[in-house]
Amino acid sequence: MKVLMFGWEFPPHITGGLGTACFGLTKGLVKHDVDIIFVVPKAYGDESEEAVRLVNASEISIDVDKEESKTYWERVQYMEIGSNIIPYVGPEQFESLQEEQNKVTENFISPVFSQKYEFSGKYGINLMEEVARYALIGSSIATKNDFDIIHAHDWLTYSAGIAAKETTGKPLVVHMHATEFDRSGENINTDVYAIEKRGMEMADRVITVSNMTRKIVIEKYGIDPRKVVTVHNAVEPVDKSDIELPEKQVKEKVVTFLGRITFQKGPEYFVEAARKIMLRDDNVRFVMAGTGDLMNKMVQRVAQLRIGHKFHFTGFLKGDDVDKMFAMTDVFVMPSISEPFGIVPLEAMRSNVPVVISKQSGVAEILKHAIKVDFWDVDGMADAIYGLCHYNALSETFIKYGKEEVDSLKWEHAALNVKKVYDSIFL
Most confident by average pLDDT, 15-29, 86-100, 133-147, 388-402 = 388-402
Which one is predicted more confidently, 240 or 406? 406
Residue 246 lies in a domain: no
Residues 398 and 419 in one domain: no
Residues 206 and 267 in one domain: no
Q: How many domains does the structure of the chain reveal?
A: 2
Q: What is the CATH number of the domain that holds 15?
A: 3.40.50.2000
Residue 274 lies in a domain: yes
Q: Is the pLDDT of residue 353 over 80?
A: yes
Structural domain of residue 316, as residue ranges?
253-407
Where do the DSSP E strands lie in 7-160?
A: 35-40, 53-56, 149-153
Helix axes 190-202, 211-221, angle to 10 degrees: 100
Residue 163 lies in a domain: yes
Q: Is the pLDDT of residue 104 over 70?
A: no
CA 411 to centroid of chain Cα atoms: 16
Residues 292 and 145 in one domain: no
pLDDT (average), residues 185-189: 81
pLDDT, position 254: 97
Residues 183 and 227 in one domain: yes
CB-side exposure of 94: number of CA atoms within 13 Å?
Answer: 22
Q: Is the pLDDT of residue 113 over 70?
A: no
Residues 11 and 141 in one domain: yes
Lowest-confidence region among 56-60, 166-170, 418-422: 56-60
Residue 103 lies in a domain: yes
Residues 175 and 218 in one domain: yes
Q: Which long-range contacts (CB under 8 A, 24 or more apart) does 52-56 make?
A: 52/5, 52/26, 54/10, 55/141
Residues 219 and 182 in one domain: yes
Residues 213 and 257 in one domain: no
Read off the pLDDT of residues 142-167 as tens digits, 9 standing for 90 and up: 988 999 999 999 898 999 999 899 98
Residue 148 lies in a domain: yes
CB 273 within 8 A of CB 378: yes
Residues 149 and 63 in one domain: yes
Residue 257 lies in a domain: yes
Residues 213 and 355 in one domain: no
At residue 43, φ and ψ (nearest 5 deg) are: -110, 145
Rounded to whole angstroms, the Cα distance separating 271 from 338 reads 18
Confidence label for 249 from pLDDT (cuts 50, 70 and 90):
confident
Residues 27 and 58 in one domain: yes
Q: Is the pLDDT of residue 72 over 80?
A: no
Rounded to whole angstroms, the Cα distance separating 21 from 153 reads 10
pLDDT (average), residues 110-126: 69
Residues 305 and 394 in one domain: yes
At residue 383, φ and ψ (nearest 5 deg) are: -65, -40
**Of 78, 82, 104, the residue nearest 93 (C-alpha):** 82
Determine which helix (DSSP H) or strand (DSSP E) holds 69, and give its type and residue range. helix 67-73
Q: Which long-range contacts (CB under 8 A, 24 or more apart) does 215-219 make?
A: 216/179, 216/181, 216/182, 217/176, 217/179
Sheet of 371-373: strand order equals 311-315, 284-289, 253-258, 331-334, 355-358, 371-373
Quick one: what percent of the chain has pLDDT higher than 90? 58
Residue 384 lies in a domain: yes
Confidence label for 239 from pLDDT (cuts 50, 70 and 90):
low
Rounded to whole angstroms, the Cα distance separating 112 from 134 reads 9
Residue 240 lies in a domain: no
Tell me whether strands 284-289 and 311-315 are parallel, antiparallel or unpaired: parallel
